[in-house]
Amino acid sequence: MKTLQNFTDDYLQRCREMSKDDIARFLEDFRRLHGGRKSGSRLISMKVPEELLQAFKAMSRMHGTPYQTKIKELMSDWLRAG
């Protein structure tokens, strides 16, 4: 069963206030991220210096974010900044 997405009145009001350029930018970002097709995740392997990985994991824990989730967020942000 699919979940139902609920929108707050504040969110809907902000959407109403978006300019055509804001809407176009949102749609383009969404298309770039999702490509209009359903895709799954892919397991990758990469070498990272141990000290860097441990520091990244520690910082992620301090911010309450799983480190792999943070890596994916950083990748998405970088793509959007294009």
Q: What is the pLDDT along the chain (82 residues), one digit of tens a residue?
A: 677 878 889 989 988 999 999 989 888 888 878 775 666 788 999 999 999 999 999 999 999 999 999 999 999 999 988 7
Q: What is the DSSP letter of 35?
A: T
Where do we find the tokens 């809407």? 23
Note the helical H segments in 1-66: 9-16, 20-34, 50-62
The structure's pTM equals: 0.52
Given this model, what pLDDT does residue 6 score? 85
Where do we find the tokens 């699919």? 2
Given this model, what pLDDT does residue 60 score? 95
CA distances from 5 to 2, 8, 19, 80 (A): 9, 10, 23, 24
Given this model, what pLDDT does residue 40 score? 77
